[in-house]
Chain A
Amino acid sequence: MQILVKTFASLRDVAERETMVCIEEGAVVGDLMEVLFRRYPGLEEALFSSPGELKRFVNILVNGRNIHFMRGMDTVLHDGDRVVLFPPAGGG
């Protein structure tokens, strides 16, 4: 299945702003991350504080919904899903 991934802000220093990922049916967000980390070697350090541990403030939205309120890295993906990775700004 095809998943569209978009990155924002500082993540664009280590990954393309938009990329299409072909992944097996039934894959979860964690599987998608592994594909992305192989494609963009600097992305894991930008997203994870330790292996498998997403930095708490990094948002991953699947079709606009934050995975924090779903099943986190175990959130199941579906063909055509749009996944957005963005570290929110905090300054004012």
Chain B
Amino acid sequence: MLTPADRERYRRQLPLIGDEGQERLREAAVLVAGAGGLGTSIALHCAYAGIGRIRIVDQDRVDLSNLNRQILYRDADLGKSKAVAAAERLRGAGPHLRVEPVEASIDAENVRELAEGVDLILDGMDNFDARYLLADAARECAVPFIHGAIHGFFGQVTTIIPETTPCLRCIVPHPPPGGAVPILGVTAGVIGCMQTAEAIKWLAGTGDLLAGRLLLWDGLRAETEVLAVEGDAACPVCGEHRRKCE
């Protein structure tokens, strides 16, 4: 049951997701993988929307060059663990919020443990090695993986639902070159918010997801395109399931 204070706090969004939707958010646990540009935008909006438990994972420490886009950090956080600083900043953003900071690099050894017990995984990573691991873990745990990635003024979002939609490797079979790519803060904000909107819809059970659809945002030209994407029976990850279905 929502408390009177909950009703007031969420008064402007209850007409959109209902009491039941708000309660589902409160009961939900999400993994925010990465506390960089995307991850800080995602975590902030998950917290303020009323999601109950946020596990946020990052191994890095806050650097001055992060502060154009990683909106949970201030100058006073320089040198601090990102996961811990993010958790501190989020404290009080929601009455039922519990933030679990994890200072770790996501790898094949720990990914399954990090994904255990959450209702979905939000992708705030900056590399595809980790994204593929997380997408595989989401598949094993049968929870959605909400992919987002950014570069400059451009970004992409899609929601991957195990055994329903194409997997991450169907959509991006080969990762782009890594490294410190140029990124504008608003790109991280826009794409992170779109990912969070997907999470809220999934948890509250409303709206249409970017399931089997890839949203491409071109901030430079102020254009958005949504492409239907197909999985493939030849995919090494989901192909076997797809072949069985066909």
Chain A contact residues, CB within 8 Å of chain B: 6, 8-10, 12, 17, 56-57, 59, 61, 63-66, 68-70, 84, 86-92
- B230-A57 in contact (CB<8A): no
Which residues of B lie under 8 Å from residue A92 when comparing CB positions?
34, 36-39, 123-127, 148-150, 188
Q: How far is the CA of A70 from the CA of B228 in the complex (A)?
A: 17
Chain B, interface residues (CB within 8 Å), range: 35 or more
Chain B's closest residue to A62 (CB) is: B230
- B221-A89 in contact (CB<8A): no
- B37-A56 in contact (CB<8A): no
Q: Nearest Cβ in chain A — how far from B195, in angstroms?
A: 10
Which residues of A lie under 8 Å from residue B183 when comparing CB positions?
91
Which residues of B lie under 8 Å from residue A65 when comparing CB positions?
229-230, 232
- B149-A89 in contact (CB<8A): yes
The 4 closest A-B pairs by CB, nearest first: A69-B232, A89-B151, A92-B126, A90-B176
Chain A's closest residue to B38 (CB) is: A92
Q: How far is the CA of A60 from the CA of B172 in the complex (A)?
A: 10
Cβ of B154 under 8 Å from chain A:
yes
Q: Which of A8, A59, A86, A91 contacts B181 (CB 8 A)?
A: A91
Cβ of B155 under 8 Å from chain A:
yes
- A69-B234 in contact (CB<8A): yes
- A88-B227 in contact (CB<8A): no
- A90-B218 in contact (CB<8A): no
Chain B's closest residue to A91 (CB) is: B181
Cβ of B203 under 8 Å from chain A:
no
Given contacts A90-B126, A92-B34, A92-B39, contact A66 B155 (CB under 8 A): no
- A90-B170 in contact (CB<8A): no
Given contacts A8-B225, A64-B228, A69-B173, contact A91 B218 (CB under 8 A): no
Which residues of A lie under 8 Å from residue B228 when comparing CB positions?
64
